[in-house]
Amino acid sequence: MIIRFAQEKDLSEVNRLRRQVNLVHVEGRPETFKPGFSKEMEEHLYAIYQDPEQKVVVAKGEKNTLLGFAVLHHICKPENPVVFERRHLEVDEFCVDDAARRQGVGKSLIEFIRNYAREQGYQRIELNMWEFNKGALAFYEAVGFTTYRRFMEMKL
**What residues make contact with ligand COA under the rule CB under 6 A?**
21, 24, 94-96, 101-107, 129, 133, 135-136, 138-139, 142
CB of 54 to ligand COA, least distance (A): 16
CB of 79 to ligand COA, least distance (A): 29
CB of 110 to ligand COA, least distance (A): 8
C-beta of 18 vs 55, nearer to ligand COA:
18
CA separation, residue 59 to residues 6, 66, 92, 113, 142 (Å): 9, 6, 16, 11, 19
- d(CA 117, CA 111) in angstroms, rounded, equals 10
C-beta of 77 vs 134, nearer to ligand COA:
134
Q: With contact defined as beta carbons under 8 Å apart, do 19 and 37 qualify? A: yes
DSSP SS3 for 105: helix
- d(CA 136, CA 138) in angstroms, rounded, equals 5
C-beta of 112 vs 139, nearer to ligand COA:
139
